[in-house]
Structure 1
Amino acid sequence: MATDCVSEMIIKQDSNNNLISKLRKQVRSYIDLHMYSSALFWADKVASLSDNEPQDVYWLAQCMFLMKQYHRAATLIKNRGLDKTHPLCLYLASKCYLEAHEFNDALQMLTGESEDQLGRSTKVSAISFSQLNMENNIEGFTTVNLQSSLLFLKGQIYEALDNRSVAAECFKQALQTDVHCFDAFNALVQHQMLSEEEEKKLLTTLPFSEQCGEDKFVSVIYEHLLKKYQSVPINSTPPLPHPRLNNNLDLAVAQAERYYYACNYKQCFNITEDVLKKDPYHTTCLPVHIACLVELKKVNKLFYLAHILVDLHPDNGVSWFAVGCYYYLIGKSDPARRYLGKATTLDKLFGPAWLTYGHSFAADNEHDQAMAAYFKASQLMKGCHLPLLYIGLECGLTNNITLAEKFFLQAQSISPQDPFVIHEMGVVAFQNQDYVTAESHFQKALTRVREINETLIAGKWEALLNNLGHTCRKLKKYDEALEYHQQALLLSPHNSSTLSCIGFVQALLGNLHEAIEIFHKALGQKRDDSFSTTMLNYVMEQLMEESPPVLDDSDEPAADLGETSSTAQPVTGNEGLSTLTEGNEDKSQLSFEVEMQDSFRDETNS
């Protein structure tokens, strides 16, 4: 009898185990099919049948998490003490508090920090992996994956608490633990947490050889995704690790970003448009594509895209970013700010929306509000130089040159080879009348532009060439000044200001006929150009003094013409333009007030 009872118990136990195993598979199947209510129902029954085994409690809590029952899931784990013994359960419970926006509770559970320390930490607090017993895993998860996931989660919590420096350290640690943790890599890159040098240093210090062996696949992929405005030409990116990746959309978007930062907007647009045909809602591609539409002034395409995004994804910040960019492009600043503000509310870490928000104020010369938006962007994008660059531009527009220079220097410390920053340093030197230094900066910026885009200088750099011309003119290098202005004219053939500059230099060179012709062209482009009008009248007067009147033979004898010619004093070189020489330029009523072009306000990052 006793033997029969034991046998019967064994049979029942085996039957129970088979039932549990069958139901566990059923729960996973329903999760894969996104039928979370069914998964939750049967997960609850499995947990009861297995007497609350840790793996079954975890999957029950996971079903609650997937149904957005965050507090219920966290309470389930805490009541059974699994957050103290099982790292995966700790991860899930902390994730629940993060999703419920209870960041203090999430961090305290993860690190054990007291509430008065939360959010004020200046260094990374450790997660006690030894106390957790990382070997106490649930089937299907590795120790390395769990450690990197916990570190990444901690970084997310610190970022939510606006402690971005500590968050960046957590993301770095997560990558060091597992180089395949793309979430950590993406957070560092997309949230602009690292400068160029820090990104390069990170890439060289990651343990690729230990974790990937001789395979260079991961390192090459990451190298393609790093900052797109670094000191490398567009065509100098490393070769792809596999030929089939030539059609990969993520890598295509990375290439498009390089074209964008090189101001080759047409090529960038061609790539992003092709990507969106294959994947219409590619999250990384959309901000770049929207920025391209703004730069190329494709109003109708932007209007259509914005409507589609708002209809399909009203809770996504990039949708309202597109709407705000549309209104910014058509010159309606108030609705632009309203929709850009909504974008930043939905995604407070969305840097491009903050930058465009600042641009909308700058377009109306509301410098204080623009700088406030740029300051917010600089707090969110510690590794990006653009907010500091724009703050410097606004300071320059308010004639605070000293403060502008400080911000340009900060921007240069983040991205020392960026031609936009170098150009603005030249503008500051020009305004300080240090023309030699200004010329050096402008030449360096032009060299960088040609390195980045070896085939063609984008029209965006017309201001740089004109400013080089102004500087050379100040240094009395008139031939060089003329050459730079003519190069600028090739980039923007209908710019009346450039034509005026060419006419002015021609006048300084004594080429009065050419100067008159150019001033006429400038007035043809801009009829109310007061400088061109005044200069045209003055040069014509000079030409009349230089050329004696032609008299009709019937009116005056030939001898009189000879006498007139003999008494006329010829004008040679620049002598007839003494009031226009550089020494007298600032004193003359006809002086050319050079308005240095604070270029590149419309540039966005994406």
Structure 2
Amino acid sequence: MQHEYSLKRAGASLPVFLQLKLHRAPARYLAAHCHIKQNRHEDALGILGEKNPAHLITTNDSARRKLQAVTNGLTSKQHGKGKASSRLERVDRSEEREYADRSDVKYEAAMCYLRGLCFAKRNAFDRAKECYKDAVRIDVQCFEALDQLMKNALMSPGEEWDFLDSLNFDTIGPDVSEGGDAQEAADLVRNLYITRMSKYSRTEDFTNALDTLSTHYRLSQNPDIVLAKADLLSSTSQFEAALVLTSSVLDQDPYNFACLPLHLALLYQLHHTTALFALSHDLADTHPLEPCTWLAVGTYYLSTSRIPEARSYFSKASLMDPHFGPAWIGFAHTFAAEGESDQAIAAYSTAARLFQGTHLPRLFLGMQQIQLDNLAIAREYLTSAYEMCKTDPLLINELGVCAYKEGDLESAIRSFDLALKIADDNEAPPQQSREARLNLAHALRKSGRLAEALEQFDEVIRLGLRDASVFAAKGLVLLELEQAFEATVALHEGLAISPQDPLASELLAKALGLLEGEGVLGGADEEAIDVGVRNRVQELRKGGGGGRARRRGVRHSDGMDVDGAADRLRRPP
């Protein structure tokens, strides 16, 4: 309350101050900042104006400098109404920047950032994005603007890296008091910014930046660097390793709200329900006004399949911060979990509109359309997502599923193969790609490549996916390969898991029907054994084989009832 009262007093006294310092950037920035803190964004925008000072923008390539018509920064009132006031001079942007006071440049960048906040409040995200980008272009150290661009996913992965390459880090001055080097300072800031970029493209650059910051700058234990490493591991499906890193960050700072959304996602992915309960309970007690708190509570309820409660808390988090992406995604997931595709599509569409730079909402929209068999619409969403991110195995797997349902088996097989290759290149645990491998096995089976399909089904089972439908599919392949006995073994394993599985039961009946008239060994081997058994019986009987002879035969045959075995082997079908 005291803080709010101080802001109101400051806001009340600012008009007088502004009349005295109308054209000073620090005064305008301070006034607008106070209005924003009081949630008076329109008043703040009235002070800031809606246009950014484009003449202060620099790039990393001096050859790109453009000439701009300016009036040397003077207004018509300062010039008077003579010809001099209308005379325009063409000057180099970099030269015009030199005319501006260095401190004013930083304030102008900060005001661009505030304009972005005001436009975001209007849901004018395109204009907000340009304001944030201009803020960083004017002052490359305006990290708050970069943070808004990254955490709100306002740019696609390609746009993020192009934007980074356009920044002029040479404008960063060294720390004179510590005898710093300008190039060293520029490299440090650039590497720090790289850790905020998308992990789905230019992974090598990202890894090199992390290594440089960890070793050369000795920031290996810095929470932001550790979080960036965890994010990279998560994007490559190495969830256990990522969870170790996020846990280490939270051990140092239990309420690091930049880390918590990723940590919650990892706990959910790895089914750590108890940890989710403890964390959400603690956050609800200590930080009830944080949207991330109710994201945690919703994630816990989602992990325990209490969908209505989860939806309620995800909704609460999104109402507290309408631009909180994880809350919108979780809210949509609750509808998808209940098969409510229409509501899920509406929620995912909202997320796609709010967070235009991430491919995930479009991916989830495509998945919902596949479930509804709207394959043409699904392909549009998935293709749009693929244009934004070409290295997500889950996305490529869904493209394969869409092709499979459309009957384009060769395209489906290529997609599944590519998804597995990317997962392998990312060094993801094999268990994380079981679904793509299973889909590949089905596509190979349907295209008639039975031996390859059988190999993939065996690999899926080896990786731990022991499901009745998997064994049923393997049994079907074995039947098509005319290996009826092996098919019965696979189908029995499936029915041991799910005794009422209709497909496995039907296939087993068919396999047993094919085995009628065949012994377990089949063909010539069985006939040779049958002849051998008959000869052995005759020898025993010729030797006066009463009861003791028959008992000796039993002992020599390792417990097999020879007569009974012979009878069974000779029994007609």
Q: TM-score range by the shorter chain?
A: 0.7 to 0.9
Match of 2:381 among 365, 382, 407: 407
Task: Please state how far the C-alpha of 1:486 moved relative to its aligned partner.
Answer: 2.0
Counterpart position of 1:19: none
Counterpart position of 1:385: 359
Contact 2:195/2:206, CA 8 A, preserved across alignment: no
Contact 2:158/2:201, CA 8 A, preserved across alignment: no
Task: Please state how far the C-alpha of 1:546 moved relative to its aligned partner.
Answer: 4.8
Contact 1:417/1:448, CA 8 A, preserved across alignment: yes
Task: Please state how far the C-alpha of 1:128 moved relative to its aligned partner.
Answer: 11
Structure 2 portions without partners, runs of 5+ = 52-69, 79-96, 174-181, 539-568
Task: Please state how far the C-alpha of 1:229 moved relative to its aligned partner.
Answer: 2.9
Match of 2:470 among 498, 517, 521: 498
Task: Please state how far the C-alpha of 1:244 moved relative to its aligned partner.
Answer: 1.6
Counterpart position of 1:51: none
Contact 1:85/1:136, CA 8 A, preserved across alignment: no
Counterpart position of 2:148: 187
Structure 1 portions without partners, runs of 5+ = 1-35, 38-65, 114-126, 558-564, 569-606
Contact 1:337/1:357, CA 8 A, preserved across alignment: yes
Task: Please state how far the C-alpha of 1:203 moved relative to its aligned partner.
Answer: 1.1
Counting only pairs closer than 5 Å after superposition, residues 390-469 of structure 1 correspond to structure 2 as 390-453=364-427, 456-457=429-430, 459-469=431-441
Secondary structure, counterpart of 1:214 in structure 2: helix
Cα-Cα RMSD: 2.9
Query: 1:396-421 deviations in whole A, cap 9, x for unaligned?
Result: 11111111111111111211222222
Match of 1:145 among 94, 106, 120: 106
One-letter amino acid of the counterpart of residue 366, structure 2: G
Secondary structure, counterpart of 2:237 in structure 1: coil
Secondary structure, counterpart of 1:277 in structure 2: helix
TM-score, with length taken from structure 2: 0.78
Secondary structure, counterpart of 1:84 in structure 2: coil
- Alignment partner of 1:79 is 2:79: no
Task: Please state how far the C-alpha of 1:306 moved relative to its aligned partner.
Answer: 0.3
Counting only pairs closer than 5 Å after superposition, residues 160-559 of structure 1 correspond to structure 2 as 160-211=121-172, 213-215=182-184, 216-230=187-201, 232=203, 236-238=207-209, 239-241=211-213, 242-453=216-427, 456-457=429-430, 459-547=431-519
Identity %: 29
TM-score, with length taken from structure 1: 0.74
Count of aligned pairs: 477
Task: Please state how far the C-alpha of 1:82 moved relative to its aligned partner.
Answer: 4.3
Secondary structure, counterpart of 1:193 in structure 2: coil
Counterpart position of 1:122: none
Distance 1:128 1:526, change over 3 A: farther
Contact 2:440/2:456, CA 8 A, preserved across alignment: yes
One-letter amino acid of the counterpart of residue 489, structure 2: E
Query: 1:528-576 deviations in whole A, cap 9, x for unaligned?
Result: 211111111111111224558989979xx9xxxxxxx9xx9xxxxxxxx
Structure-1 separation of matches of 2:498 and 2:468: 6
Contact 1:234/1:453, CA 8 A, preserved across alignment: no
One-letter amino acid of the counterpart of residue 543, structure 1: L
Task: Please state how far the C-alpha of 1:97 moved relative to its aligned partner.
Answer: 2.1
Query: 1:217-267 deviations in whole A, cap 9, x for unaligned?
Result: 111111122112336379944322334201111110111111112222111
One-letter amino acid of the counterpart of residue 214, structure 1: Q
Counterpart position of 2:177: none
Distance 1:68 1:536, change over 3 A: farther
Contact 2:227/2:259, CA 8 A, preserved across alignment: yes
Structure-2 separation of matches of 1:540 and 1:110: 81
Distance 1:452 1:68, change over 3 A: farther
One-letter amino acid of the counterpart of residue 73, structure 1: A
Contact 1:77/1:83, CA 8 A, preserved across alignment: no
Match of 2:40 among 102, 109, 121: 102
Structure-2 separation of matches of 1:129 and 1:92: 25
Contact 2:434/2:465, CA 8 A, preserved across alignment: no
Query: 1:572-606 deviations in whole A, cap 9, x for unaligned?
Result: xxxxxxxxxxxxxxxxxxxxxxxxxxxxxxxxxxx
